[in-house]
Amino acid sequence: MSLLPFQPAHSLTAVAASQRWLIDGLWAEQGVGIVGGEPKCCKSFLVLDMAVAVASKTPCLRRFAVHQPGRVLLYAAEDALHVVRARLEGICRIAGVALSDLDIQVITSETLRLDLEGHQAMLAATVQRLQPKLLVLDPFVRLHRIDENASAEVAPLLAFLRQLQRRYGLSVVVAHHAKKGGSNLRGGQALRGSSEFHAWGDSNLYLRRQGDDISLAIEHRAAASQSGLCLTLGAHGDDVALRVVDRAPKPTQPSPASTDDKIKATLATAGAPISLADLRAACGIRNATLLHCLSTLVADGCVLKSSAGYSLT
């Protein structure tokens, strides 16, 4: 029988600290991950800032140095192409570079569906041809027609992007929405849909807005995380870009608990499996809504259904 390849731990390849980062402290070299936040939290401005930084080797947000510059491949599914250009030009002028000097390639297809094998093949062929250092996809919700709450449907799409990362040695940034009312949750838990999104990322960035303040939390799989950074969307004439503000963001006001949170909290305090009727009474949730949420939580592995009732896994 053939053996799997192996070697002693002390002989594994070591990488210098500067080579571990695409953007110092912000995004891992050859890392995949999520830029998450509720609508109007400037996710698109952040991923475009990352694109300009990597293509120009200028600090992202005028703060985070780029160690591994190179070509960027961008697909902006929600914005018209002239809007994408205008935003990029504005960020470039603030960064002190010219867009015409940067190697940022924009996918101009009207649709890109990662749940279709043909579209996956076209994206893979484009990546193979262009060999980008960074692939930016904004936002995930426009890249498929699957059920984002079903791990079995989300996982293959994320696995395909991971495969691209490993095969072609690039970083992948995916903008993704947070769930409504998730501002009182940790960044990864607040992401909309399956828990696969949070688990997938090597580097994840979470944006939250309160008034004019935008807070940025940075999370890494293999490095120290950081939170409490305050950003603002500043205008320089007609040009607009995010920048870091050297002050603490305002405390976030807690949002009402989501339906999923109510169910989890009730199950956590129950101490034993609880019936559907008792769960409905304790949560004060309509039966149809409760059944829908429970089916999602069971599919995601958060809740266990047995003959005795429902309980947390």
Residue 171 bridge partners (DSSP) = 134
Contacts of 126 (CB under 8 A, 6+ apart): 73, 107
Per the domain annotation, does 9 fall within a domain?
Answer: no
| pTM confidence score | 0.77
Per the domain annotation, does 4 fall within a domain?
Answer: no
Do 76 and 164 lie in a common domain?
yes
Do 220 and 271 lie in a common domain?
no
Per the domain annotation, does 254 fall within a domain?
Answer: no
DSSP letters, 107-152, are: ---S---TTSHHHHHHHHHHHHHH--SEEEEE-GGGG--S-TT-HH
Whole-number Å distance between alpha carbons of 131 and 199? 26
Tokens of 94: 């603030």
pLDDT at 182: 55
pLDDT of 260 > 60? The answer is yes
- Residue 297 in contact with residue 260, Cβ under 8 Å? yes
Q: Return the closest-CA partner of residue 279 out of 300, 308, 250, 252.
A: 308
pLDDT at 40: 87
pLDDT tens string 138-162:
999 999 999 999 999 999 999 999 9
pLDDT of 179 > 80? The answer is no
Count of alpha carbons within 13 angstroms of residue 62, beta-carbon side: 17
Number of domains in the chain: 2
Quick one: average pLDDT of 234-246? 89
Do 189 and 296 lie in a common domain?
no
pLDDT band at 107 (very low <50, low <70, confident <90, very high): very high
Do 304 and 206 lie in a common domain?
no
Query: Which residues constitute the domain of residue 271?
Result: 259-312
Quick one: average pLDDT of 171-199? 81
Per the domain annotation, does 12 fall within a domain?
Answer: no
CATH classification at residue 130: 3.40.50.300
Do 98 and 231 lie in a common domain?
yes
pLDDT band at 33 (very low <50, low <70, confident <90, very high): very high
3-class secondary structure, 188? helix
pLDDT of 255 > 90? The answer is no
